[in-house]
Copies of this chain bind each other. A is one copy, B any other.
Amino acid sequence: MSATDRHTLDEFDVIKRCFRPLAEKEPGAFALKDDAAVLPAQSGYDLVMTMDTAVAGVHFLLNDPPGSVAAKVLGVNLSDLAAMGAAPYVYTLSVALNRDEEISWLESFANALKHEQETHGISLVGGDTVRTPGPTSLTINATGLVPSGEALKRSGANVGDSIYVSGVIGEGALGLLALQGELSGIDEDVASRCIDKYRFPKPRLSLGKRLRGIATAAIDISDGLLQDLGHICETSGVGAKLELSQIPLPTRANSTLVHRALNGGDDYELVFTTSESDDRVVQQAIKGCDVECQRIGTIVEGAAVMVYDNGDALKDMTVSAGYNHFSS
């Protein structure tokens, strides 16, 4: 039976060849040979659990580099863990592989996933593999650990808190535009950085851990800065006032791109609030993590996220509905 024999290759062989190497470091995975994984209780830690599904043709393309697919499908889950201040622990993976797709795709994907999990210190402990007549779909359930009671939530922002973001906002959205051939008028190296960010999201795990005890609320930017900050505001019962000039953007070439950058998804940066008003204290707390953070505004009374430019509220910069899974 060849490695790419797509009709007769059985599930047990696929598990053995593609996925067992990803479970070798966690004894409780039983080399994926039992009904379920058994994981010892981690005394003093809360579990943080999240799940995301990526569908070929909707969330990724099968001709994307396998490393990019692996980085995205694991990365979006790790980004949720980062937003809660959790450290990666274990994950399960379900692959529904299109029935006409070669098994070799799964092998390339699994190899890339192994690299990703080693980068982030997380281990596969179980899952499922099935054939589907539909597009290949990948679902990951990621579990992280956070010291008991220290998880970051969306609900703790208070009026007067400072608002910070990590990294550059909008690179993911502009990267997608560039890949669609719809991005013009910006430097080639900026476009190339945006494409890289879109393809290889960087879950801000080291930042998330440092934000324990200093952030009053946090969320990762998956649907766009304004919408995701809107979730913090909604859950916390507050509003937000942002200064456009303070928001790190890949380009300010024209207002359409700025609008897109603030409302587009796929950044996987963190936006967080803190009651600390001294920027030096915040910078000291997050020192040593792999990304810079910038103060972009203040939590205010109300229920809206407003963007100001030189004192004027920009009416077209309202909280957008962002990326709506159900209309795609």
B-binding residues in A (CB < 8 A): 7-11, 14, 28, 30, 33-53, 55, 57-59, 80-81, 83-84, 86, 90, 92-94, 96-97, 125-135, 137, 139, 141, 143-144, 146, 148, 151, 153-155, 219-220, 231, 235, 321, 324-328
Contact = CB atoms under 8 A, between A and B. Distances in A.
Nearest to A83: B35
A43 to B, nearest CB: 6
A182 to B, nearest CB: 22
A141 B7 contact: no
A273 to B, nearest CB: 14
Contacts of A44: 41
Which of A131, A139, A148, A153 gathers most chain B CB within 10 Å?
A139
A59 B137 contact: no
A53 B326 contact: no
B132 A326 contact: no
A46 B41 contact: yes
Given A38-B153, A131-B327, 15 more contacts: A10-B324, A10-B326, A11-B326, A34-B154, A35-B84, A36-B84, A40-B47, A40-B148, A50-B92, A51-B128, A52-B94, A96-B137, A129-B325, A132-B137, A141-B141
A155 B28 CA distance: 13
A43 B46 CA distance: 11
B58 A130 contact: yes
B39 A132 contact: no
